[in-house]
């Protein structure tokens, strides 16, 4: 079976937002790309919502559902949070709409919630039970089984409302296929492992399917509200307890939502700090009305809870055929077995990370880990890499930049759009006989140089290797000035060619002097030639040609 949630890596920007949001750090970075560690993941969906590049992708099961419909009668178990996702609809509207897609009928998962909450009430009558954790949230169920196996004994040993309703539908309708539709990613995994659910769709998948089929969702101004619909409260935080009797006074009835709070509560249970309590536990802050798919709609938890409250009745749903014993189950997924690095290994890695000195261990969380030690352990496990440290990268980058700026043989200067000096290196200061760059930082460039060229560059002109004599500083330079559109600055590079220019001028003097001497010799020889012309004949012409060639060679050498 294909994974319920996968991470694409082709456009990952290394922002580390996914790992910062993941309480279990079930994200690894290989080749500077984020990947989900499926063995650790509980499908809470935090990375799905936080990724700015939308690289966390939920498996699409629409085609699978279409096949089920083609094979036989297929029923929908509709999560009660639908009323907050589709605020202008009700169960009658949803039935009419979904039947157009080929479904036989649509029922509310709240029927299964009624079956489950009655089982919870029965559990509370058992004197041998201590702590009971609700089993409605599959992400919590996975969390306990994988990461807190010591608390598995507290997990209510009954099916979730989704699976209980699936079982009930299959008991009532022979050879029925059951498809759950809701706001949760983890339910896909639960459906994959349950004989009572044949497929799971998210509300987003349903939206896409309706759009592709050209089916409009039916809406209503007057919602159909039944007296017997109390379990519609299940998707809100505390909603399970609102439907239960909670008559056993020996118990405290507690609500915990959000992964951080759930993990903290489970740590308390491991440590033996909690007894005789029923804990309604949900991985999503705000429970199912704020499920990972619902969060994409950007509606508030308060508004969604209000919609659920207004749609719920004050009595239980009627149901038949499913008993407490029918929905009994065991949650026995194997726990995660990780070898934790030793303190010595962690310390060695910290040294390798450039964190030998405790003062360098900022524990800033930029990399996604709560501390430098936690990141070092993740590197040893192969889940992270050393470069995932923003302060260290900034320090390295600044050090490298400073090294280049300070040691380049060229003069460097950076100006803002107002032509104020933002940076000037030591080479430039020496070139312009400035004592220190600090004396001109923030000053207008006109304080030290003619600003004309810089105005021209701001106007779009290009200046590259321009030859110039700085009379005030008695320097010959080659100047390149470019405009950085992104950072809105002028970058100026000056190459001091004074020594080259002086040498060149000295060479020209020698060459010119040589040419002058050659001309004088030529003139003297010509006079002599004229005097003996009668004797030499054609030899005079040859002598002149030879001397002219000599003169030409000297001149060409100078050029």
Task: List, for residues 32-57, the tens digit of each pLDDT value.
Answer: 789 999 999 999 999 999 999 999 99
State the fold for domain 75-187+226-327: Fe-only Hydrogenase (Larger Subunit); Chain L, domain 3 (3.40.950)
Calculate the alpha carbon distances from 344 to 356, 357, 360 in Å: 12, 15, 18
At 391 the pLDDT is: 74
Mean pLDDT for 257-271 is 97
* Three-state DSSP string of 487-544: CCEEEEEEEECHHHHHHHHHHHHHHHHHHHHHHHHHHHHHHHHHHCHHHHCCHHHHHH
Highest-confidence segment of 213-227, 246-260, 427-441: 246-260
Higher-confidence position of 394 and 436: 436
How many H helices and E strands in the chain?
21, 16
The per-residue pLDDT for range 251-261, each reduced to its tens digit, is 999 999 999 99
Q: How far, in Å, CA of 445 to CA of 454, rounded?
A: 9
| Distance from C-alpha of 553 to C-alpha of 214, rounded to nearest angstrom | 88
Alpha carbon distance 19, 461 (integer Å): 46
Contact 55, 7 (CB under 8 A): yes
Query: Is residue 361 a contact partner of residue 372, using CB atoms and an 8 Å limit?
Result: yes
The dihedral built from the CA positions of residue 436, 438, 439 and 443, taken in this order, carries a sign that is positive
Whether 221 and 92 have beta carbons less than 8 Å apart is answered as: no
pLDDT at 230: 96
- DSSP per position, 254-288: EEEESHHHHHHHHHHHHTT---SEEEEEESSTTGG
With 0-12 / 13-18 / 19 or more C-beta atoms within 10 angstroms meaning exposed / middle / buried, residue 48 is buried
Average pLDDT over residues 62-86: 97
SS3 assignment, position 5: strand
Strands in 177-182's sheet, in edge-to-edge order, are 105-108, 74-78, 177-182, 199-202
Q: Whose structure tokens read 């992104």?
A: 486
Residue 390 near residue 366, CB atoms below 8 Å: yes
Question: Which among 186, 187, 152, 142 has a CA at the least distance from the CA of 166?
Answer: 187
Task: Give the tens place of pLDDT for each residue, 360-413.
Answer: 888 888 888 889 999 999 999 888 888 887 777 676 777 777 888 888 899 999
Assigned architecture for domain 410-496: 2-Layer Sandwich (3.30)
CA nearest neighbour of 216 among 382, 127, 116, 101: 101
Q: What angle do CA 263, 250, 328 make, to 5 degrees?
A: 60
On whether the CB atoms of residues 331 and 135 are closer than 8 A, the answer is: yes
Residue 29 parent element (H or E): strand 27-30
Report d(CA 290, CA 283) in Å as an integer: 10
Q: Per-residue pLDDT for 101 more than 70?
A: yes
Cβ-Cβ contacts under 8 Å for 464 (sequence gap 6 or more): 480
pLDDT at residue 223 is higher than 60: yes
Is the model's pLDDT at 78 over the cut of 80? yes
CA dihedral 549, 551, 556, 559 (to 10 degrees): -170
Query: In the chain, what is the greatest distance between 2 CA atoms, to the nearest angstrom?
Result: 146
In angstroms, the CA 379 to CA 354 distance is 14
Neighbouring C-beta atoms of residue 392, cutoff 10 Å: 19
Q: What is the pLDDT of residue 543?
A: 62
Q: What is the pLDDT of residue 392?
A: 72
- C-alpha span between 491 and 425 (Å, rounded): 12
Tell me: pLDDT of 436 over 90.
no
Least confident of 108-112, 219-223, 302-306, 412-416: 219-223
Pick from 98-107, 362-371, 420-429: least confident: 362-371
Query: Distance of CA 305 to CAs 46, 234, 289, 478, Å?
Result: 20, 10, 7, 70
Mean pLDDT in residue range 143-170: 97
Among 335-339, 445-449, 482-486, 527-531, the range scoring the smallest mean pLDDT is 527-531
pLDDT computed for residue 46 by the predictor: 95
Q: Do residues 550 and 515 lie in contact, with contact meaning Cβ atoms separated by under 8 Å?
A: no
Read off the pLDDT of each residue in 142-147 and give the average, rounded to a whole number: 97
Instruction: Please write down the HEC assignment for all residues of 420-454.
Output: EEEEECHHHHHHCCCCCHHHCCCCEHHHCCCCHHH
Q: pTM of the entire structure?
A: 0.75
pLDDT tens track for 527-542: 766 666 555 555 556 6
How high does pLDDT run on average in the chain? 91
User: Contact 113/134 with Cβ under 8 angstroms?
Assistant: no
Q: How far apart are the first and last CA of the chain?
A: 79
**Distances from the Cα of 59 to the Cαs of 6, 7, 87, 332, in angstroms?**
8, 11, 25, 25
The tokens describing 277, both together, are 């309590």
Kindly state the helix (H) or strand (E) to which residue 212 belongs, with its residue range.
Answer: helix 203-213
Banded pLDDT at 141 (limits 50, 70, 90): very high
Please tell me the predicted confidence (pLDDT) of residue 475: 93
Write the pLDDT tens digit of every residue in 284-337: 999 999 999 987 777 799 999 999 999 999 999 999 889 999 999 999 999 988
Percent of the chain with pLDDT over 90: 71
Per-residue model confidence (pLDDT) at position 8? 87
CATH number of 340-407: 1.10.15
Whole-angstrom distance, CA of residue 302 vs CA of residue 244: 22
Please give the pLDDT value at position 558. Answer: 55
């Amino acid at each position: 079976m294909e994974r319920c949630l996968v991470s694409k890596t082709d456009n990952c920007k290394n922002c580390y937002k996914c790992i910062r949001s993941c309480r279990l750090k079930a994200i690894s970075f290989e080749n500077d790309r984020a990947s989900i560690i499926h063995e650790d993941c509980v499908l809470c969906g935090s990375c799905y919502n936080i990724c700015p590049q939308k690289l966390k992708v939920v498996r699409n099961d629409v085609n699978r559902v279409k096949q089920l419909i083609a094979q036989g009668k297929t029923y929908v178990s509709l999560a009660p949070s639908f009323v907050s996702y589709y605020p202008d609809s009700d169960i009658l509207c949803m039935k009419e709409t979904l039947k157009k897609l080929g479904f036989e009928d649509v029922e509310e998962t709240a029927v299964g919630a009624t079956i489950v909450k009655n089982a919870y009430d029965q559990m509370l009558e058992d004197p041998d039970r201590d702590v009971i954790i609700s089993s409605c949230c599959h992400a919590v169920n996975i969390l306990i089984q994988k990461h807190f196996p010591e608390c598995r004994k507290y997990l209510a040993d009954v099916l979730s409302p989704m699976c209980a309703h699936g079982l009930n539908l299959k008991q009532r309708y022979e050879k029925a296929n059951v498809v759950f539709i809701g706001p949760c990613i983890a339910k896909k995994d639960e459906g994959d492992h349950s004989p009572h659910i044949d497929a799971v769709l998210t509300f987003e998948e349903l939206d896409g399917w309706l759009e592709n089929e050209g089916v409009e969702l039916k809406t209503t101004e007057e919602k159909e509200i039944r007296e017997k619909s109390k379990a519609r409260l299940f998707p809100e935080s505390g909603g399970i307890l609102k439907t239960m009797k909670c008559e056993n006074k020996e118990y405290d009835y507690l609500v915990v939502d959000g992964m951080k709070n759930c993990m903290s509560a489970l740590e308390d249970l491991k440590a033996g700090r909690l007894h005789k309590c029923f804990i309604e536990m949900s991985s999503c802050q705000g429970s199912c009305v704020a499920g990972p798919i619902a969060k994409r709609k950007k509606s508030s938890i308060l508004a969604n809870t209000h919609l659920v409250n207004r749609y719920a009745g004050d009595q239980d749903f009627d149901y038949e055929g499913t008993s407490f014993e029918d929905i009994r189950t065991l949650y026995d997924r194997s726990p995660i077995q990780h070898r934790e690095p030793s303190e010595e290994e962690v310390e060695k890695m910290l040294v390798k990370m450039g964190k030998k000195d405790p003062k360098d261990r900022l524990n800033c969380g930029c990399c996604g880990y709560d501390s430098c030690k936690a990141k070092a352990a993740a590197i040893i496990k192969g889940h992270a890499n050393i470069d995932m440290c923003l302060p260290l990268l900034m320090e390295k980058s600044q050090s490298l930049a400073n090294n280049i700026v300070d040691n380049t043989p060229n003069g460097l200067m950076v100006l803002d759009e107002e032509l104020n000096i933002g940076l000037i290196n030591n080479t430039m200061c020496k070139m312009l006989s400035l004592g220190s760059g600090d004396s001109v930082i923030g000053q207008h460039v006109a304080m030290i140089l003619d600003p004309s060229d810089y105005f021209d560059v701001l106007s779009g002109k290009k200046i590259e290797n321009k030859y110039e004599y700085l009379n005030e500083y008695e320097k010959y330079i080659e100047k390149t000035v470019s405009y950085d559109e992104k950072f809105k600055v002028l970058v100026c590079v000056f190459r001091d060619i004074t020594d080259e220019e002086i040498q060149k001028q000295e060479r020209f003097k020698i060459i010119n002097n040589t040419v002058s001497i050659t001309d004088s010799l030529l003139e003297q020889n010509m006079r002599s030639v004229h005097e003996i012309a009668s004797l030499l004949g054609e030899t005079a012409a040859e002598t002149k040609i030879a001397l002219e060639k000599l003169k030409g060679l000297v001149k060409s050498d100078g050029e």
